Amino acid sequence: MGEWIGNNIGIIEMAFTGAVVLGLCAWQYWQVRDAGKPPKD
């Protein structure tokens, strides 16, 4: 298992980085979208 991780660490890092970037983009998008809405109360 350790060997597999060693061989695929680049792929794992790329996938993880991609997931983090996508998460940040989605979070930013929701923040902006919510800020553009008038408050409900």
Instruction: Give the range among 10-14, 24-28, 30-34 with minimum mean pLDDT.
Output: 30-34
In sequence order, which residues have a C-beta less than 8 Å from that of residue 41 and are 6 or more positions away?
none
Residue-level pLDDT at 25: 96
Contact (CB, 8 A) for 16 and 23? no
In sequence order, which residues have a C-beta less than 8 Å from that of residue 12 and are 6 or more positions away?
5
Residue 2 predicted with pLDDT over 70: yes
How many domains would you assign to the chain? 1
Q: Which domain holds residue 25?
A: 1-41
Residue-level pLDDT at 38: 73
How far apart CA 8 and CA 16 sit, in angstroms, is 12
Name the residue with tokens 């809405």: 37
Q: What is the pTM of this model?
A: 0.57
Residue-level pLDDT at 33: 86
